[in-house]
Amino acid sequence: MPKLKISTLPDEKPVRVTVELPAIVHRDLLAYAKLLSQDAGQPAPDPAKLVAVMVTRFMATDRAFARSKRGR
């Protein structure tokens, strides 16, 4: 089994944001949630909960974004 970049989902008070995703992205989120559940031995999380974790991870690894934040 490959090592997934996301290991746990944080338990924080959410802010609701509504977005539309292409069907392929939704299918991939479902597949990712299934892999995550197999890796953790728990039920698959709601794919919507993965989005915030993935976006956070993406922004944390975006060097240009990090430089921009430091420059403020």
User: pLDDT tens digit string along 23-47?
Assistant: 999 999 999 999 988 877 888 888 8
pLDDT digits (tens, 9 = 90+) for 1-29: 567 677 777 777 878 889 999 999 999 99
d(CA 57, CA 60): 5
The pTM assigned to this predicted structure is 0.68
pLDDT of residue 1: 54
Asked whether residue 71 carries a pLDDT value surpassing 60, the answer given is: yes
Could you state, in order of their start, the residue ranges of all structural domains in the chain?
A: 43-72
Q: What's the DSSP call for residue 24?
A: H
